[in-house]
């Protein structure tokens, strides 16, 4: 693992992640075959590399390097299908949501009926803490449900908007970096993982992602900033 980290450090010296470096990282990953926890550790280390060295490098070049390095760590399923499906009860849907949130680099746009699972909440707050632009659209009536974490997000400085109508904002989808969409019936609650028969679909199809991004943008413009109703 340390061999991979040192390769990343050497690569960042010129903020160019070359094809040869990408190939070397992939070969090392194939050799070590790190599990999800170790991959997450590697991802945290490349963010640390950028944070500690950013003052000495052009910001845009550093971000380009970070995106390329991060993508290399996520390319383990490049040969597989672009769409993935998960079902509950069980933790498959929860882990899919956590993973997508943890992979976000630039932006995380969440359009979710309710959020009350603290495990998801911690992932969202962590993304916000590492500088990801987080925006949340949610339902106004679910806002004050017992266990709802929306007010916690607002207190943390995350931008939150809610509908101000007698109808429900019932979507459950998320967009990461404008490149991946997660959607499905799964409610972002503990009961969904424990008891409910739910589903999640994750897609990187450009047309599908663009359609969901358009819907999020429209709802963001339409909804009311939380705390200003």
95 and 71 fall within a common domain: no
Structural domain boundaries enclosing 154: 84-225
Q: Give dist(CA 120, CA 209) in Å, integer.
A: 22
109 and 192 fall within a common domain: yes
72 and 91 fall within a common domain: no
Q: Which of 77, 104, 130 is the last residue of a domain?
A: 77
Residues ≥6 apart with Cβ < 8 Å to 4? 25, 28, 29, 32, 42
Q: Which of 109, 142, 171, 172 is catalytic?
A: 172
187 and 203 fall within a common domain: yes
- Give the domain CATH number at 140: 3.30.870.10
Q: Which of 77, 111, 131 is the last residue of a domain?
A: 77
Q: Which of 56, 168, 170, 197 is catalytic?
A: 170
38 and 104 fall within a common domain: no
204 and 155 fall within a common domain: yes
Q: Which of 54, 77, 100 is the last residue of a domain?
A: 77
191 and 219 fall within a common domain: yes
DSSP 62-112: HHHHHHHHHHHHHGGGTTS-S-EEEEESSSHHHHHHHHHHHH-SSEEEEEE
β partners of residue 137: 111, 161
**Angle subtended at Cα 167 by Cα 191 and Cα 143, rounded to the nearest 5 degrees:** 45
51 and 116 fall within a common domain: no
Per-residue pLDDT of the chain (229 residues; tens, 9 = 90+): 688 888 888 888 888 888 888 888 888 887 777 766 677 778 778 888 887 877 777 777 777 888 788 878 776 443 344 689 999 999 999 999 998 998 888 899 999 999 999 999 999 999 999 889 999 999 998 888 888 999 999 999 999 999 988 899 999 999 999 989 999 999 999 999 999 999 999 998 989 999 999 999 999 999 999 964 4
38 and 91 fall within a common domain: no
Count of the separate structural domains present in the chain: 2
142 given a catalytic annotation: no
71 and 136 fall within a common domain: no
145 given a catalytic annotation: no
109 and 135 fall within a common domain: yes
């Amino acid at each position: 693992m340390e061999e991979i980290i040192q390769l990343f450090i050497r690569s960042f010296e010129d903020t160019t992640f070359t094809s040869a470096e990408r190939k070397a990282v992939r070969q090392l990953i194939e050799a070590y075959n790190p599990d999800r926890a170790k991959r997450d550790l590697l991802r945290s280390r490349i963010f640390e590399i950028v944070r500690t060295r950013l003052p000495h490098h052009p910001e845009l070049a550093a971000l380009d390097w970070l995106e390329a390095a991060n993508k290399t760590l996520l390319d383990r399923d490049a040969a597989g299908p672009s769409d993935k499906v998960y079902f509950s009860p069980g933790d498959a849907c929860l882990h899919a949501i956590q993973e997508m949130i943890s992979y976000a680099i630039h932006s995380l746009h969440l359009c979710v009926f309710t959020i009350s699972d603290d495990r998801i909440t911690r992932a969202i707050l962590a993304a916000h803490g590492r500088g990801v632009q987080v925006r949340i659209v949610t339902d106004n009536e679910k806002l004050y449900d017992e266990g709802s974490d929306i007010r916690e997000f607002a207190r943390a400085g995350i931008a939150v908007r809610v509908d101000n109508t007698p109808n429900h904002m019932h979507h459950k989808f998320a967009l990461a970096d404008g490149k991946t969409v997660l959607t499905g019936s799964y409610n972002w609650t503990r009961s969904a993982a424990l008891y409910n028969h739910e589903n999640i679909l994750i897609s990187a199809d450009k047309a599908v992602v663009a359609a969901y991004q358009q819907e999020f943008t429209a709802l963001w413009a339409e909804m009311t900033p939380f705390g200003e109703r």
